[in-house]
Protein backbone atom coordinates (compact mmCIF):
# COMPACT_ATOMS: atom_id res chain seq x y z
CA UNK A 1 0.00 0.00 0.00
CA UNK A 2 1.25 3.44 -0.87
CA UNK A 3 1.69 6.16 1.72
CA UNK A 4 1.44 9.91 1.46
CA UNK A 5 4.20 11.96 -0.13
CA UNK A 6 3.41 14.91 2.12
CA UNK A 7 5.92 13.95 4.78
CA UNK A 8 5.28 14.35 8.48
CA UNK A 9 3.43 17.44 9.69
CA UNK A 10 2.97 16.92 13.46
CA UNK A 11 1.43 20.36 14.00
CA UNK A 12 -1.21 19.85 11.33
CA UNK A 13 -1.82 16.31 12.52
CA UNK A 14 -2.36 17.59 16.08
CA UNK A 15 -4.80 20.21 14.77
CA UNK A 16 -6.68 17.55 12.80
CA UNK A 17 -6.84 15.26 15.84
CA UNK A 18 -8.22 18.11 17.96
CA UNK A 19 -10.79 18.82 15.24
CA UNK A 20 -12.07 15.24 15.04
CA UNK A 21 -11.86 15.00 18.83
CA UNK A 22 -14.26 17.94 19.07
CA UNK A 23 -16.57 16.24 16.55
CA UNK A 24 -16.51 13.10 18.69
CA UNK A 25 -17.22 15.02 21.89
CA UNK A 26 -20.13 16.80 20.21
CA UNK A 27 -21.45 13.51 18.86
CA UNK A 28 -21.47 11.74 22.21
CA UNK A 29 -22.59 14.87 24.01
CA UNK A 30 -25.65 14.99 21.79
CA UNK A 31 -26.21 11.24 22.19
CA UNK A 32 -26.28 11.36 25.98
CA UNK A 33 -28.20 14.63 26.29
CA UNK A 34 -31.89 14.79 27.05
CA UNK A 35 -32.65 15.99 23.52
CA UNK A 36 -34.16 13.23 21.37
CA UNK A 37 -33.78 13.01 17.59
CA UNK A 38 -37.19 13.60 15.97
CA UNK A 39 -38.67 10.56 14.24
CA UNK A 40 -39.29 12.61 11.10
CA UNK A 41 -35.81 14.14 10.79
CA UNK A 42 -35.60 12.95 7.16
CA UNK A 43 -38.78 14.86 6.33
CA UNK A 44 -37.67 18.26 7.61
CA UNK A 45 -36.02 20.88 5.43
CA UNK A 46 -34.37 22.19 8.59
CA UNK A 47 -32.35 18.95 8.83
CA UNK A 48 -30.78 19.57 5.43
CA UNK A 49 -30.12 23.24 6.21
CA UNK A 50 -28.45 22.35 9.50
CA UNK A 51 -26.32 19.71 7.76
CA UNK A 52 -25.33 22.22 5.07
CA UNK A 53 -24.09 24.64 7.73
CA UNK A 54 -22.32 21.90 9.68
CA UNK A 55 -20.51 20.44 6.69
CA UNK A 56 -19.67 23.89 5.39
CA UNK A 57 -17.94 24.74 8.68
CA UNK A 58 -16.14 21.40 8.63
CA UNK A 59 -14.82 22.05 5.14
CA UNK A 60 -13.58 25.51 6.11
CA UNK A 61 -11.70 24.08 9.09
CA UNK A 62 -10.18 21.34 6.94
CA UNK A 63 -8.96 23.91 4.41
CA UNK A 64 -7.42 25.97 7.20
CA UNK A 65 -5.55 22.95 8.58
CA UNK A 66 -4.32 22.08 5.08
CA UNK A 67 -3.39 25.68 4.22
CA UNK A 68 -0.01 25.76 2.50
CA UNK A 69 -0.09 22.09 1.52
CA UNK A 70 -0.72 20.90 -2.05
CA UNK A 71 -4.47 20.36 -1.79
CA UNK A 72 -4.83 17.58 -4.35
CA UNK A 73 -2.17 15.59 -2.53
CA UNK A 74 -3.42 16.46 0.96
CA UNK A 75 -7.01 15.44 0.19
CA UNK A 76 -6.17 12.69 -2.35
CA UNK A 77 -8.38 14.64 -4.76
CA UNK A 78 -7.22 12.73 -7.81
CA UNK A 79 -8.50 10.00 -10.07
CA UNK A 80 -7.43 6.45 -9.26
CA UNK A 81 -4.90 4.94 -11.64
CA UNK A 82 -7.57 2.51 -12.88
CA UNK A 83 -11.28 3.16 -12.40
CA UNK A 84 -12.07 -0.45 -13.29
CA UNK A 85 -9.83 -1.75 -10.52
CA UNK A 86 -11.05 0.93 -8.11
CA UNK A 87 -14.71 0.04 -8.70
CA UNK A 88 -13.94 -3.64 -8.18
CA UNK A 89 -12.21 -2.91 -4.88
CA UNK A 90 -15.05 -0.60 -3.86
CA UNK A 91 -17.61 -3.34 -4.54
CA UNK A 92 -15.54 -5.80 -2.51
CA UNK A 93 -15.33 -3.36 0.42
CA UNK A 94 -19.04 -2.56 0.20
CA UNK A 95 -20.01 -6.24 0.23
CA UNK A 96 -17.79 -6.82 3.27
CA UNK A 97 -19.46 -3.89 5.06
CA UNK A 98 -22.95 -5.19 4.26
CA UNK A 99 -22.03 -8.69 5.45
CA UNK A 100 -20.64 -7.43 8.76
CA UNK A 101 -23.52 -4.98 9.25
CA UNK A 102 -26.04 -7.72 8.49
CA UNK A 103 -24.37 -10.14 10.89
CA UNK A 104 -24.32 -7.58 13.70
CA UNK A 105 -27.72 -5.96 13.06
CA UNK A 106 -29.65 -8.32 15.38
CA UNK A 107 -27.40 -7.18 18.22
CA UNK A 108 -26.04 -3.76 17.23
CA UNK A 109 -28.41 -1.75 15.03
CA UNK A 110 -26.58 1.42 14.01
CA UNK A 111 -29.44 2.74 11.85
CA UNK A 112 -32.01 2.55 14.64
CA UNK A 113 -29.64 4.07 17.20
CA UNK A 114 -28.66 6.94 14.92
CA UNK A 115 -32.29 7.70 14.20
CA UNK A 116 -31.79 9.24 10.75
CA UNK A 117 -33.47 6.53 8.67
CA UNK A 118 -37.25 7.12 8.30
CA UNK A 119 -39.58 4.39 9.47
CA UNK A 120 -42.09 4.92 6.66
CA UNK A 121 -42.59 6.74 3.37
CA UNK A 122 -44.53 10.02 3.53
CA UNK A 123 -45.33 11.17 -0.05
CA UNK A 124 -46.75 14.46 1.22
CA UNK A 125 -43.26 15.49 2.34
CA UNK A 126 -41.33 14.16 -0.64
CA UNK A 127 -39.55 17.47 -1.28
CA UNK A 128 -37.96 17.57 2.15
CA UNK A 129 -37.00 13.91 1.83
CA UNK A 130 -35.28 14.54 -1.52
CA UNK A 131 -33.30 17.39 0.07
CA UNK A 132 -32.32 15.09 2.93
CA UNK A 133 -31.44 12.30 0.48
CA UNK A 134 -29.10 14.61 -1.44
CA UNK A 135 -27.52 15.75 1.81
CA UNK A 136 -26.91 12.19 3.01
CA UNK A 137 -25.74 10.77 -0.33
CA UNK A 138 -23.71 13.69 -1.68
CA UNK A 139 -22.79 16.31 0.91
CA UNK A 140 -22.08 13.97 3.83
CA UNK A 141 -19.93 11.46 1.88
CA UNK A 142 -17.85 14.20 0.25
CA UNK A 143 -17.07 16.17 3.40
CA UNK A 144 -16.67 13.16 5.71
CA UNK A 145 -14.37 11.38 3.28
CA UNK A 146 -12.30 14.53 2.76
CA UNK A 147 -12.02 14.72 6.56
CA UNK A 148 -10.97 11.13 7.24
CA UNK A 149 -9.79 9.41 4.06
CA UNK A 150 -8.63 12.73 2.62
CA UNK A 151 -6.64 15.01 4.92
CA UNK A 152 -6.62 12.74 7.98
CA UNK A 153 -5.33 9.75 6.04
CA UNK A 154 -2.64 11.85 4.32
CA UNK A 155 -1.37 13.25 7.61
CA UNK A 156 -1.28 9.80 9.23
CA UNK A 157 0.06 7.82 6.26
CA UNK A 158 3.75 8.75 6.86
CA UNK A 159 3.45 6.75 10.12
CA UNK A 160 2.31 3.68 8.17
CA UNK A 161 -0.58 2.84 5.86
CA UNK A 162 -2.29 0.60 8.41
CA UNK A 163 -1.90 3.26 11.07
CA UNK A 164 -3.79 5.65 8.80
CA UNK A 165 -6.43 3.02 7.97
CA UNK A 166 -7.13 2.02 11.56
CA UNK A 167 -6.90 5.43 13.21
CA UNK A 168 -9.13 7.15 10.67
CA UNK A 169 -11.55 4.22 10.85
CA UNK A 170 -11.84 4.37 14.64
CA UNK A 171 -12.15 8.17 14.72
CA UNK A 172 -14.71 8.13 11.92
CA UNK A 173 -16.82 5.67 13.89
CA UNK A 174 -16.45 7.56 17.15
CA UNK A 175 -17.44 10.90 15.59
CA UNK A 176 -20.96 9.57 14.95
CA UNK A 177 -21.58 9.41 18.69
CA UNK A 178 -23.04 5.89 18.73
CA UNK A 179 -22.55 3.11 21.24
CA UNK A 180 -24.24 0.00 19.86
CA UNK A 181 -23.46 1.03 16.30
CA UNK A 182 -19.80 1.84 16.95
CA UNK A 183 -18.35 -1.55 15.85
CA UNK A 184 -20.18 -1.40 12.51
CA UNK A 185 -19.10 2.19 11.89
CA UNK A 186 -15.49 1.43 12.79
CA UNK A 187 -15.48 -1.52 10.40
CA UNK A 188 -16.99 0.74 7.75
CA UNK A 189 -14.24 3.28 8.36
CA UNK A 190 -11.48 0.67 8.21
CA UNK A 191 -12.87 -0.86 5.01
CA UNK A 192 -13.11 2.53 3.33
CA UNK A 193 -9.63 3.42 4.58
CA UNK A 194 -8.32 0.22 3.00
CA UNK A 195 -10.00 1.28 -0.25
CA UNK A 196 -8.34 4.69 -0.01
CA UNK A 197 -4.93 3.08 0.50
CA UNK A 198 -5.34 0.68 -2.40
CA UNK A 199 -6.57 3.29 -4.88
CA UNK A 200 -4.60 6.32 -3.62
CA UNK A 201 -7.70 8.41 -4.27
CA UNK A 202 -10.55 9.79 -2.19
CA UNK A 203 -13.05 9.38 -5.04
CA UNK A 204 -13.73 5.62 -4.58
CA UNK A 205 -14.37 6.10 -0.82
CA UNK A 206 -16.78 8.95 -1.58
CA UNK A 207 -18.62 6.75 -4.10
CA UNK A 208 -18.82 3.79 -1.72
CA UNK A 209 -20.03 6.03 1.12
CA UNK A 210 -22.69 7.58 -1.11
CA UNK A 211 -23.97 4.21 -2.31
CA UNK A 212 -24.09 2.81 1.23
CA UNK A 213 -26.08 5.78 2.55
CA UNK A 214 -28.36 5.87 -0.47
CA UNK A 215 -29.21 2.17 -0.32
CA UNK A 216 -29.95 2.43 3.41
CA UNK A 217 -32.40 5.30 2.89
CA UNK A 218 -34.12 3.75 -0.11
CA UNK A 219 -34.40 0.37 1.61
CA UNK A 220 -35.93 2.02 4.67
CA UNK A 221 -38.76 3.71 2.81
CA UNK A 222 -39.25 0.86 0.35
CA UNK A 223 -39.80 -1.72 3.06
CA UNK A 224 -41.89 0.50 5.34
99-158 per-position pLDDT tens digit: 999 898 877 766 666 666 777 788 888 899 999 999 999 999 999 999 999 999 999 999
Can you give the pLDDT at residue 105?
Answer: 80
- Say what the pLDDT of residue 109 is: 64
3-state helix, strand and coil shares in percent for the chain, rounded to the nearest 5 = 75, 0, 25
Query: Has residue 21 got a pLDDT over 60?
Result: yes
Whole-angstrom Cα distance, residue 150 to residue 71? 10
- Summarised one tens digit per residue, pLDDT across range 71-107 is 999 999 999 999 999 999 999 999 999 999 989 887 7
* Cα(188)–Cα(98) distance, integer angstroms: 9
CB atoms within 10 A of CB 52: 13
Global pTM reads: 0.93
Domain ranges, ordered by start, for the chain = 10-222
pLDDT for the residue 224: 58
Amino acid sequence: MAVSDLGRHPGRLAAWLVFVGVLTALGYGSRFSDVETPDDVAYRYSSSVAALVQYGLMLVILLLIARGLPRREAFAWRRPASWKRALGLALLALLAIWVVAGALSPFLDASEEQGLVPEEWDPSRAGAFVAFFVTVTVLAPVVEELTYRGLGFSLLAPYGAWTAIVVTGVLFGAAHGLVLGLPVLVFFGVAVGWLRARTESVFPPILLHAVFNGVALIAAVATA
